Amino acid sequence: MTAHRFDVVIVGSGAGGGTVAARLGELASQGRSVLVLERGPRFHDADFTGQELDMAGQLYADGGGFLTADGTMTLAFARGYGGSTIVYTGTSLVAPERVIREWNVPGLGPAEVAERSARYIGENSVHLLPDDLINENNRLFVEGAAKAGLHAEQFPLNLKGCRGSSLCNLGCPNAAKQGTNRVQLPAAERAGVTVVTRAEVIRLGERRLTVRVGARPPGGKGAESEWAPGNYEIEAGMVVLAAGAMGTPALLLGSGLTGLPARVGHGFTAHPALILVGEHTQPVVNDVGHPKSFFIDRAEADGFVLETCMYFPFVTAKNMTGFGAEHGAMLRAFSRLQMILVLACDHATADNRVTIDREGQPIVHYRFTDRVVESLARATRMAATIFFGAGALRVHAPLANPPFIERANAGMVDRLIGPEHFLPGVTSVSSAHLMGGAGMGSAAANSVTDSWGRVHGRPWLRVADASLFPDSVEINPYLTIMALADRVADGILSDLATGGSA
Amino acid sequence: MTPFSLAGPAFRPVAISFVPELGSADERVWGTLERAIDSALGARRSALGEQVRTFIKVIDLLARLRFGRGVHRLEPGQVGRLMGALERAPFRLIRRGVWGLRTLVLMGYYTQPEVVASLGYRADRAGWEARR
């Protein structure tokens, strides 16, 4: 067992950990020691081949097939230098004022979240794609929405030199997406922050961590770890957990720390999502260009968000209901498909939470509430209307039975699509927006941390990722994660400057 | 070479009920599909592979109870009806089993380069430059 000591240890290198690392670069440049531990590898640019099976197995936990405890929802999250910012589409929205007010975290207001978000809008080159880079799949969404009397908004995206590979979710092969792997982590390393990849935290103790560094497996992508394979005991003046909404609660629950807030693991939300497909008579340009350029935000009124999307053949096949001849026929029409993602804005409930198994690995317990299923049904009806408005011949709607709705029945979508057709274990539901589990709040009785990410009762222990969210953020979350992580970093800098914690 | 972990007479008829195109697939396509499934199961917790194998045995047993013979002796339409009934079974465990098995087969088939190309899917790292 090799021993080390660092002033600050950050666990995780995604939107949260990467942001904190960059902000603490100033500490490193002043001679303090800052370490980032990342469970996944440091990928080379050439590793991003765009091959679905190849990349999913390398980038995502369980190859993208991590399931909730009852097996009814797939949770997608990545491991690697940059965390899930390697695989997101770069959609950069500021958290709605309403949501931040409803979170009701003392000391945290919407103006501050917006201001901190603006910093990363600038740093990550966020902008609207020019019209000539919008593909037909996205245009059909805008046209179909307009015919239904709806306004589709354009996503601000954090891209620099996007070539339109459409492969965002398998890691950008052109280094265009400005995730923490491209912006914050390299800046942190230039300032003297140490980043160690393939480093899994086995146990969190009182100001110490036990870490296992692994070797690159045979056939694995990415660089070898910066440290030799083996176990390490690391003493830390301060620990910042940014291992995601499953990883952070799991580390806390599996720690040897006594007296942690009882809310650890509670408050998990996920924006459960369905992928809908519309078949057109003519080819649709759908596999080139940024896949997610527009959205319709109905979170406040109806509890859902619609987004354009274009997934790869297997993910598409998996997310369609059923199997057999009709299922196969829809996939053979891939070059004529339009796709829409519908996301329900779920809320924290007592049932939905993270626990751990005997080995300390996270288990996500998630039950779909009636409200969520009704939101998904409303969203599916609207999406079907948009598909038909855009000229689709037929639509695959997971909340219809049978799921295929022909154009002749376009006027009946309200009757054909309904929550009664939601069947857990049949309806394919997935999530890539994992939130909560170590929520902010005023006291240990109702939360895990304060508004600066300090775990109640342990000022040396901070949280800086989506697990801080006390409830769903109701939009794509990464910019809000960065804003909160920025705040956590300010708190650390302030506390260290006044001699606190470390 | 390691034998395919889901080997047994029931697997291929069930897989064909999920992806009918497999009914005319050659051994190369089946081999690629089976290796992909083995690789996926090998990367997951050890119990999962055993659960999937057990579930295939349950399907075969149910076929014997319903039709008087194993899945591999059924007509394709009978296998499809059996799997359709199990997909919407009242027990969530059965539904989950069908969903999981079908997902493995879809993964093994719809990630094969020839299949992907046959669908017209042409994503390329060069993006727009590759099309214009």
Alpha-carbon distance of A434 to A432, in angstroms, equals: 6
- Of the pLDDT bands very low, low, confident and very high (cuts 50, 70, 90), residue B49 is confident
Q: What is the mean pLDDT of residues A399-428?
A: 96
The dihedral built from the CA positions of residue B49, B50, B52 and B53, taken in this order, carries a sign that is positive
DSSP alpha helix (H) spans, A210-304: 244-253, 299-302
Overall average pLDDT of the A221-238 stretch: 97
% pLDDT > 90, chain A: 97
Instruction: Express the helix, strand and coil content of chain A in percent, nearest 5 each.
Output: 35, 25, 45
Question: CA-CA distance, A226 to A42, in Å (whole number)?
Answer: 9
As a whole number, mean pLDDT of residues A288-305 equals 97
Contact A59, A86 (CB under 8 A): yes
Q: ipTM surpassing 0.90, yes or no?
A: yes
Q: State phi, psi for A441 to the nearest 5 degrees.
A: 180, -170
pTM value > 0.90: yes
Q: Do A288 and B131 touch (CB under 8 A)?
A: yes
Q: What pLDDT score was predicted for residue A10?
A: 98
- Put simply, the answer to whether B128 touches A323 (Cβ < 8 Å) is no
| Token pair for A60 | 């995502």
pLDDT of residue A438: 98
Interface test with B, best of A62, A137, A288, A293 (most B CBs within 10 A): A288
Average pLDDT in chain A: 96
Q: Which tens digits make up the pLDDT trace of A134-159?
A: 999 999 999 999 999 999 999 999 99
Q: For residues A258 and A401, what is the distance between their CA atoms, to the nearest angstrom?
A: 50
Residues in Cβ contact with A72 at an 8 Å cutoff, skipping those fewer than 6 apart: A366, A368, A424, A425, A429, B92, B96
3-state SS string over A163-211?
A: CCCCCHHHCCCCCCECCCCCCHHHHHHHCCCEEECCEEEEEEECCEEEE
Residue B2 has pLDDT above 60, yes or no: no
* Model confidence band, residue A453 (pLDDT cutoffs 50, 70, 90): very high
Return the pLDDT at A349: 96
A317 token code pair: 């096949």
The β-bridge partners of A234 are A4, A209
Give B57 to chain A, closest Cα distance, Å: 20
- Orientation angle between helical segments B11-18 and B92-110, nearest 10 degrees: 80
Is A50's CB within 8 Å of B125's CB? yes
Q: What is the pLDDT of residue A362?
A: 96
Segment A92-97 shows an average pLDDT of 97
Which residues, other chains included, contact A288 with Cβ-Cβ below 8 Å and sequence gap of 6+? A135, A164, A165, A166, B122, B123, B124, B127, B128, B130, B131
Taking the CA atoms of A82, A88, A94 and A98 in sequence, report the sign of the dihedral they define.
Answer: negative
Q: Which structure tokens are listed for A232?
A: 């390490």
Q: Give the mean model confidence (pLDDT) for residues A104-132.
A: 97
- In this model, does residue B45 exceed pLDDT 80? no
Question: Per-residue confidence at B1, pLDDT binned at 50, 70, 90?
Answer: very low
Mean pLDDT of A69-88: 96
* CA–CA gap between residue A128 and residue A138 (Å, rounded): 13
B124 closest CA partner among A338, A173, A162, A331:
A173
* Mean pLDDT for the stretch of residues A457-483: 97
Q: pLDDT, tens digit, for every residue of A323-375?
A: 999 999 999 999 999 999 999 999 999 999 999 999 999 999 999 999 999 99
A30-61: pLDDT as tens digits:
999 999 999 999 999 999 999 999 999 999 99
- DSSP lists the bridge partners of residue A338 as A278
* Backbone phi and psi for residue A460, each to the nearest 5 degrees, phi listed first: -80, -5
Mean pLDDT of chain B: 93
* Shortest Cα–Cα distance, A107 to chain B (Å): 43
Cα(A203)–Cα(A360) distance, rounded to whole angstroms? 9
Does B92 sit within 8 Å of A425, measured CB to CB? yes
* Per-residue pLDDT at A482 exceeds 60: yes
Q: List CB contacts (< 8 A) between A425 and chain B.
A: 92, 95-96, 98-99
Residues of A in contact with B99 (CB under 8 A): 71, 425-426, 428
SS3 A413: helix
A485-498 pLDDT, tens digit per residue, is 999 999 999 999 88
Report the residue of B107, B114, B129 to disrupt the A interface, i.e. the one with the largest count of A CBs within 10 Å. Answer: B107
The pLDDT of residue B3 is 63
Could B43 and A63 be called an inter-chain contact, meaning their C-beta atoms sit closer than 8 Å?
Answer: yes
**In this complex, do B128 and A288 lie within 8 Å of one another by their Cβ atoms?**
yes
Give the closest of A289, A314, A426 to B128, CB-based.
Answer: A289
The predicted-structure confidence for A239-280, as pLDDT tens digits, reads as follows 999 999 999 999 999 998 999 999 999 999 999 999 999 999
What is the pLDDT, as a whole number, of residue B6?
Answer: 78
Q: What is the mean pLDDT of residues A175-204?
A: 98
Instruction: Indicate the pLDDT class of residue B42, thresholds 50, 70 and 90.
Output: confident
- Tell me, what's the pLDDT at A393? 97
What pLDDT is attached to residue A501? 59
pLDDT per position as a tens digit, B75-90:
999 999 999 999 999 9
* CA distance to partner chain A, nearest, from residue B53 (Å): 17
Name the helix (H) or strand (E) containing B108.
helix B92-110
Contacts of A317 in chain B (CB under 8 A): 106, 110
Name the minimum distance, in Å, from the CA of B69 to any CA of chain A: 22
